[in-house]
Structure 1
Amino acid sequence: MPKLKLTDATLKALKPPPAGQVDYFDNLLPSFGVRVAFTGTKTFFVFDRVGGKLKRMTIGRYGPSPLFGLAEAREKARTFKASAERGADPVDEAKREAAAAEASTFGKAVESFLARQKSRLAASTLREYKNCLTGQDVADWKDRQIFSISKADVKGVLDKIDKRGKPSACNHALAHIRLFFNDCIDRDLMEHSPANRVKALHDNTKRDRALSADELAIVAAALRDDDATLCVMYGVNDVPPLSDTLRDYFLTLMLTGQRRAEVAGMTWDEVHDLTGKDPRWELSGNRTKNGLPHMVPLSPTVAAILQRRKALGDAERRKAEALAKRDGGEALAKLNSDAVFAGTLHNTNRAKVALDSRVTAVAKAMGRPALPHWTGHDLRRTMVTGMNEMGIAPHVVEAVVNHISGAAKAGVAGVYNRALYLPERRAALNAWAHHVAALEPTRAS
């Protein structure tokens, strides 16, 4: 086997053999060398005795980062030989080091964190953590060692979210990131959290925005009426489009007062008796924030919305089944027939932007300014406020929105008070639907 003084110049000058491979040993470091294959690939290696047997150990390919340079390969060879001299298998050690390094990347640590939190958190809360820790804002952290992520990196992520005009999401992201890194410290993956002493960009002031009757009337008009009606009744020209799915999603959000993720994630197996006397929506505990099962009586208006969605879904399925005969089932496989509001769950913010354009158009036609900032969750608060103003008993309103913090359900009282108030809840939701249907936007005087 040929020997020569390995330098970058000689390595680059080595020509591949016409077939097979040739090993070149280094004059400066015994048993270290490079193998040149007929394909042109050059791979560093080192020989040493491990457990009394001579063993060839591959170091890595020659090339620019992330491959090995000559100096780096020589240093790795010395490390391998030192391990062999103390009786360890350097290849096994290297594999363990690589596995440990991979486990301590941000992506792998997040994967482990979410798996361990699955049994501890409600499904909706776990989804919030997943969206934060695997989303685009931290995408460039995925393959980085967690200890390499700095305080400046954390601040950079918060700045991204803040620039999108999402103050609440910005604060939530900091809370999620902080808990994740604290968990990494508890597992001895790192010593210091980069989120330590990072201040929230916004005060955690509890939101209390509830739409006024006039504001709710404008939103209801933008959702309730089709484009032609908006033009004729309110003089709205160039109506911004809103898909039937998003229209029905926001109407259901407004008329049931349930949480955004719960409505967006509604499935057909949760909905019962739409055409009967007891239309209802039943959520299991893993779909609710407080982890308790919840039943929502559906007003005739919401039942009709869901019947329309069901008919549209059935039509899509028939179309997909017809196409399946032509494309081997690809169209049918892509159809998620179990989701009531397919595609809405991960796009509620984008959906709200589409609705805002439409609401602003109605307000402008009424001679009114655009509505002050409001969120989808504010529709829930608006319903709770409105029901109380209508004289509906507070404990019934609390039961409608699955709260356990009211006087009738909190503390010791909640242990003994297992009343579901189902008739009262149905009456309350029916009354709310009638109230919203009667609202009409008024023109500014």
Structure 2
Amino acid sequence: MLTDAKIRAAKPRPKSYKLTDANRLFLLVTPAGGKLWRWSYTFDGKQKGMAFGPWPKVSLADARLMRDEANAVLDDLRDPAVAKKLKKEEALEASRQTFERVAREWFATNKCKWALVHQNDVIRSLERDVFDTIGAVPIADLTPPLVLAVLREIEARGAIETARRVRQRISAVFVYAIAQGITETDPAEKLGAVLKPLRKGRQPAITDLIPLRKMIKAAEDDPARPVTRLALRLLALTAVRPSELRGARWDEFEDLNGKLPLWRIPAARMKGDLDRKEEFGGDHLVPLPPQALAVLRALWPLTGDGPMLFPGNRHGHKPMSENAIGYLLNRAGYHGHHVPHGFRAAFSTIMNEWAEREGKEHDRKVIDLMLAHIPKEKVEGAYNRAAYMPRRRELACVWADMLSEGLPDPLVLVDRPAKETARYTRRRVPEPVDADFRFPAPRRAA
């Protein structure tokens, strides 16, 4: 039997020699002074051997343990050397089975069951929110805390429902992996109980400026029609109702080349009873800050040859789908947290807070006018939508300056990848406007 003292005392000789231990374990001492653990065994009538590593990296106790484990495999009528090789291959394969690799296999297997829109939503959510964080981790090594950290990041930007959807998709990937024998447990299965609850009631809206900018940027990064991206930006800048934006016509815009550019939304297109709207001033007047003019300049080469600012995908004389901007926000991961109408709540909240700190006496009333709110009661002798126009222009610029910080120029949005199905990607590519561009005289409706 070997001891640690005997091993340390062993000196190299001109030829290699063995120091034997029990059950065919021995230490091979080489002329160079190396001391290597070996084990000999017989399998299927053939003499074979296994290497357990060098001493002292592998101690005497470790070598005996490895011998006993290999001998147990031999007693099970399996070749220990082959079993060791297979175990090594399994470990290597397990390290190759990363979450991203398995998730993409799961997606390829299941996407035929889903509509194209849902397919894109599923893979985009994984690419955007999951792969960068845990995509390279072997799926068998993932734990509930690691998966929860991914979901908490999504919650941190306010996308509560998206976090819940992503958890369901991660869990589905694990179920697929379990069926394939790649892993044994689903660490995402129970996490739904610790995620933040969904908010119900009012339409969801982000009302903090920095998260709002982040949301706009994320949505504008999505592959979409350039027209849809520009519609989102103009909606955010003007805080009009989504229906009013969708129906916008080029002939509603005034003085686009002058000092007082204005969007006059006809009373007939405004929310509410027409008689009451006319009683309180008729058309809704939207002063345009420079950032809104930049959107219109970028949009003109795309749709300026038709009546609508934001025509539909198939018919240039009809407005875009009422769901187009909402779907853009959903694909960016904000489903259930911000809807197109939410820009009005964001404008009201942020600008009223600003007015509280830095505004003038009547700014709250001005902000209400800018949102085209009709008072429930006549508390004043007149309620004129054109009132306070100089101050409304100033506040429009304040809002646009705050909102646009860090956002790209609208022309950049035109150059980004567009959906292949979009009508405006099949027509000629429009030439961008230059710095000296002037809008043509408005074409008035017949």
Q: TM-score, normalised by structure 2?
A: 0.41
Q: TM-score, normalised by structure 1?
A: 0.41
- Structure with the greater relative contact order (CA < 8 A, sep ≥ 6): 1 or 2? 2
